[in-house]
Structure 1
Amino acid sequence: MRGTLYIVAAPSGAGKSSIVNAVLARDPNIRLSISFTSRAPRPGERHAEHYHFVEAAEFERMVEAGDFFEHARVHGDWKGTARQSVEPQLAAGNDVLLEIDWQGARQVRAKVPGAVSVFILPPSRDALEQRMRARGQDSEAVIARRIAAAREEMSHYGEFDYVIVNEHFDTAVDEMCAIFTASRLRREAQVARHGRLISQLLAGESA
Structure 2
Amino acid sequence: MRSIRGRSLSRLLFVALLPLSAAAQTQDMTDRAIRLDQAIQALKDEVLDVSRDAQAVENAVLAPEDQRVSIYVSLAIRGLLLDEIRIAIDGGPDELYRYDETEARALLAANSAQRVLRTAVAVGPHRIRFSYSGRYADTAPDSPPVTGQYEAIFDKDYRESELEFHLSRASRFGDQIRTSMKEWRRQR
Q: Which band: TM-score by shorter chain?
A: under 0.3
**TM score, norm. by length of structure 1:** 0.22
More helix by share: 1
More strand by share: 2
Higher RCO, 1 or 2 (CA under 8 Å, sep at least 6)?
1
Pair member with larger Rg: 2
